[in-house]
Amino acid sequence: MTGPTPDPERAMAARPARPPSVDALARSMATTGLPHPVLVDAARQAIAAGDPSTTRTRAERIARTLLRPVINATGVLLHTNLGRAPVGIARRGEPARYANVELDLETGRRGSRSDHAARLLALAAGAQAALVVNNGASAVLLALSALAAGTRVPVSRGELVEIGGGFRIPEVLAASGAALVEVGTTNRTRLADYQEVVQDDPDGIGVVLKVHRSNYQMVGFTQDVAVRELATLGPPVVFDIGSGLLDETTPWLRDGPPSWLRGEPAARQALEQGAALVTFSADKLLGGPQAGVIAGRRDLVQACARHPLARALRPGGLVLEILQDTALAYLRRDGDAIAFWRMARLTLDDLLARAEAAGVGEVVRCRSVPGGGTLPGLEIDSAGLALPGDRTAALRLAEVPVIARVHGGRTILDLRTVDPADDALVADAARAALSTMPG
């Protein structure tokens, strides 16, 4: 005997509905104004919780955690949860505003500084979590203090670097309470050198520290150990990448990093290759304000955040606000919003055209440098204006001071580091400087 004929429509209705895709949910929330990667994160959380309909609520909650101007009606002038003194300098006719640095606007309770810029930076770098401190050296010190005090830390002899201001890796290790174990030689270090140290004392090794030589180069008969190899040793690998390249596949580098960036370690790729934590400066290749970032495994970042030094090394509200804007620019895939990347991506033709349009001095080709202890020895083709003699003092006296350099008996005004909106001011300052006797 045959049974009743199946009803296709009833079968379709009985079939459980497929959950919407993460991308579709994220795109449906575009009106929130948040960058797409943030909306993707909210959609994933909602789907994982079994209720995709909460995506908008979650996205709006994220938006509420961002720094924003607020009105302080508490009567507490230096309110710690509102960043103490009001953010910025009040312009005439505009109100002085505070910011929700440590205030959860949803609950009214004390919040965390890590809910703003740090969370966005972690998302942009592909890290589980991040913590912001006041500079790159602080990031290294805090990570070692929290994770390696009382333990031994192997470091290649070729990576015992010193940066500006006398910051030396051996001294930082000593200050953190960790004991330095030098491995390898100055010019060549192999994985076996680390293995010998770890195998001799597996329980006494806190972390393995790798340090990028960001302010000098070693060439010739050299050898380094890659992060991917160090990750096989067992202890967490902390990689101080220094210069702060966030992601070598950042959208405005979609054709590959420019030749002058190749070989520079990036936070996202270092974490993908096995680093447990990366530390870096925010005011170099990241293009943000002076700050330091620790990013990577959530448990290790949380250990850093709980350490007593974390409070002493935390940045202020102004830094967090600018760093938040920087992170949002990365997530929005908007390199033009970051001044450093606008300058770095200018073509020689662009610069020559601007120099010609200035109508003053001699149009010259010149060489820019990254500076800031980043990419040592690198020079980038540039263009600008040349004035006879040393006119630097006169340029500094302009209504908006212009700082230039002297080379070959001439004053060079390199336009790569000048915002195009200021070209007219530079031209006026150059004309005024030409009317004075050279220094």
| 277, two tokens | 């934590």
Choice between 33 and 94, residue whose per-residue pLDDT is larger: 33
CB neighbour class for 61 (10 Å; exposed up to 12, middle 13-18, buried from 19):
middle
Going from N- to C-terminal start, the domains of the chain cover 19-65, 113-337, 346-434
pLDDT band, residue 164 (cuts 50/70/90): low
- What pLDDT score was predicted for residue 98? 72
End-to-end Cα, the chain, rounded Å: 110
Give the pLDDT band of residue 65 (cuts 50, 70, 90): confident
| pLDDT classification of 196: cutoffs 50, 70, 90 | very high
Residue-wise DSSP of 185-221: -SSB--HHHHHHHHHH-TTTB--EEEE--TT----SS
Q: Does residue 131 contact residue 122 with C-beta atoms inside 8 Å?
A: no
Listed residue (358, 437, 422) closest to 391, CA to CA: 437
CATH assignment of 346-434, given 3.40.1350.10, 3.30.70.1560, 3.90.1150.180, 3.30.9.10? 3.90.1150.180
Judged against a pLDDT cut of 80, whether residue 327 lies above it is answered with yes
- pLDDT for the residue 335: 85
pLDDT greater than 60 at residue 49: yes
Answer with the residue of higher pLDDT: 16 or 291.
Answer: 291
CB burial of residue 424 (10 Å; 0-12, 13-18, 19+): exposed
- Judge whether residue 294 has pLDDT over 90: yes
Q: CA Rg, the chain, in Å?
A: 26
Are domains 113-337 and 346-434 of this chain identical in fold?
no
Asked if residue 117 has pLDDT above 80, the reply is yes
User: What would the pLDDT profile of 391-407 be if each residue is shown by its tens digit?
Assistant: 988 988 888 888 988 89
List of residues 6+ apart from 130 with CB closer than 8 A: 114, 118, 119, 121, 122, 293, 294, 295, 296, 301
Q: Is pLDDT above 60 for 16?
A: no
Kindly report the backbone phi and psi dihedral angles of residue 103, in degrees, each rounded to the nearest multiple of 5, phi listed first.
Answer: -135, 125
CB atoms within 10 A of CB 192: 10
Classify domain 113-337 by CATH architecture. Answer: 3-Layer(aba) Sandwich (3.40)
Distance (Å, whole) CA 41 – CA 38 = 5
Tokens of 5: 């004929």
Tokens of 286: 């990241």
Which pLDDT belongs to residue 351?
A: 92
- The residues with which 247 forms a beta bridge, in sequence order, are none
Of 316, 291, 319, residue with least CA distance to 142: 291
d(CA 416, CA 344): 8
Alpha helices in 98-232 (DSSP H): 117-125, 136-148, 169-176, 191-200, 227-230
Mean pLDDT of the chain: 87
What tokens were used for 415? Answer: 């336009």
Cβ neighbours for 117, distance < 8 A, ≥ 6 positions apart = 67, 132, 320, 321, 323, 324, 326, 327
Residue pair 329/274 in contact (Cβ under 8 Å)? The answer is no
pLDDT band at 94 (very low <50, low <70, confident <90, very high): low
Q: What is the DSSP letter of 4?
A: P
Mean pLDDT within 51-65: 88
Of 5-9, 134-138, 243-247, 256-260, the range with the lowest mean pLDDT is: 5-9
Of 68-82, 119-133, 412-426, minimum mean pLDDT range:
68-82
pLDDT over 80 at 258, yes or no: no
pLDDT of residue 202: 86
pLDDT at 3: 56
> What does the pLDDT read at residue 108?
83
The answer, yes or no, to whether residue 21 has pLDDT greater than 80, is yes
Provide, rounded to the nearest whole percent, the portion of the chain with pLDDT above 70.
88
Structural element, H or E, at residue 64 = helix 55-65
Least confident of 6-10, 32-36, 206-210: 6-10
- Predicted confidence at residue 39, as pLDDT, reads 94
437: Cβ contacts below 8 Å, ≥ 6 apart? none
Q: Which residue has the higher pLDDT, 297 or 21?
A: 297
Q: What is the pLDDT of residue 350?
A: 94
